[in-house]
Amino acid sequence: MQRHDPHPVTGGLFESPVPPGTGWPGDPATAATPVATTAAAVRRLARTADDVDELQARVSVCRACPRLVRWREDVARSGRRASFADQPYWGRPGPSFGDPDAEVLLVGLAPAANGTNRTGRMFTGDSSGDVLYAALHRTGFAAQPTSVAAGDGQALTGIRIVAAVRCAPPANKPLPAERAACSSWLERDLELAAPRLRAILCLGAIGWDAALAATRALGWEVPRPKPRFGHGAEATLTSTDGHGIRLVGCYHVSPHNTYTGRLTPAMLDEVLLSLRTA
Ligand code: SF4
């Protein structure tokens, strides 16, 4: 049975998961957007996406990883957290969010089942996102200190948020094959951003490794031995047009790090502010 629930900002009625092109705020896709159902199709559709808008539309309808498609849609239909039971769930891959002409790309791990998988926006609707958007606002990248739902007026300038894996994985653990399949989307995001790109900010070791693997696959020069992840770690990559791009590490904004004080607001601000002047 299909559910129709009111969107928390617009009040519009939506099925969960949300069919493309049905009016969800910020939905980049339409019913005509091509759907990848295999890793090979992800590679082809990523390579042929002409711009960021088309790429995000294709990402947002991807069905290449059967386990993740089943999980994200099961959560959207019947696995909702009790506190969100009366809201529609996006139930699709998280498209990138932010400035399409950004000079900084932020690479996260993967959407959360009741966060991005509910709201359809990266890092939105969970405690990790609360910490991240507050810092992005303090450092001048975000229009608002909070990001609660698509359509809430939040906007980013100078930065765009992507992820190593675009679908919420069970237990936050994507399988190696799923990470490999999704890497083509990240590679194309980096390729489209490259002419203006100054820095890649990686939240956590998985984002760091994904960015290094993707830039190597694109033929960028990457230091050897492989740069090691750490909070504040840095390396310089060289894109195919020969310009240098900073790779910057930051502990992930997960509760595991922020509740324990391993990552403080001051530490996060310091890393973000360093990106404004690079
Ligand atoms: Fe597609 Fe990536 Fe989701 Fe796999 S994880 S279904 S490749 S968007």
pLDDT band at 174 (very low <50, low <70, confident <90, very high): very high
Mean pLDDT of the chain: 96
User: Cβ < 6 Å from ligand 1: which residues?
Assistant: 42, 59, 62-65, 68-69, 93, 165-167, 178, 181-182
pLDDT band at 153 (very low <50, low <70, confident <90, very high): very high
Residue listed under structure tokens 């042929």: 48
Would the pLDDT of 5 be above 70? yes
Question: 94: CA distance to ligand 1 center in Å?
Answer: 9
Cα–Cα distance for residue pair 97/160, rounded to 1 Å: 6
Question: 103: CA distance to ligand 1 center in Å?
Answer: 25
Would the pLDDT of 1 be above 50? no
Question: 126: CA distance to ligand 1 center in Å?
Answer: 21
Cα–Cα distance for residue pair 161/260, rounded to 1 Å: 25
One-letter amino acid at 185 equals W
Domain that holds residue 46: 5-276
pLDDT in tens, 210-268: 999 999 999 999 999 999 999 999 999 999 999 999 999 999 999 999 999 999 999 99
pLDDT in tens, 93-120: 999 999 999 999 999 999 999 999 999 9
Whether 188 contacts 55, CB under 8 Å: yes
| Nearest alpha carbon, ligand 1 atom 3 | 167
Percentages helix, strand, coil for the chain (3-state, rounded to 5) are: 35, 15, 50
CATH of the domain at 46: 3.40.470.10
Residue 184 CA: which ligand 1 atom is closest?
Answer: 7
Q: Average pLDDT in the 57-85 region?
A: 95
Lowest mean pLDDT among 42-46, 85-89, 136-140, 162-166: 85-89
Query: What is the H or E stretch that residue 138 is in?
Result: helix 127-138
Q: What one-character-per-residue DSSP string does 172-219 give?
A: G---HHHHHHHHHHHHHHHHHHGGG--EEEEEHHHHHHHHHHHHHHTT
Question: 178: CA distance to ligand 1 center in Å?
Answer: 7
Q: What is the 8-class DSSP label of residue 137? A: H
Q: Hey, which residues does 56 pair with through a beta bridge? A: none
Q: Average pLDDT in the 38-46 region?
A: 98
Instruction: Report the number of distinct structural domains present in the chain.
Output: 1
Cα–Cα distance for residue pair 173/192, rounded to 1 Å: 27
Question: 70: CA distance to ligand 1 center in Å?
Answer: 11
Cα–Cα distance for residue pair 174/178, rounded to 1 Å: 6
pLDDT in tens, 121-135: 999 999 999 999 999
Question: 50: CA distance to ligand 1 center in Å?
Answer: 19
Cα–Cα distance for residue pair 253/229, rounded to 1 Å: 15
Whether 162 contacts 187, CB under 8 Å: no
The maximal CA–CA distance of the chain, rounded, in angstroms, is 54
Q: What is the 8-class DSSP label of residue 105? A: E
pLDDT band at 2 (very low <50, low <70, confident <90, very high): low
Cα–Cα distance for residue pair 193/107, rounded to 1 Å: 13
One-letter amino acid at 37 equals T
With CA atoms as reference, report the closest residue to 254 among 243, 263, 244: 263
| Mutational test site, ligand 1, from 90, 117, 166, max ligand atoms within 8 Å of CB | 166
Pairing of strands 159-163, 199-203: unpaired
Task: Assess whether the previous peptide bond of 17 is cis (omega < 30° from 0).
Answer: yes
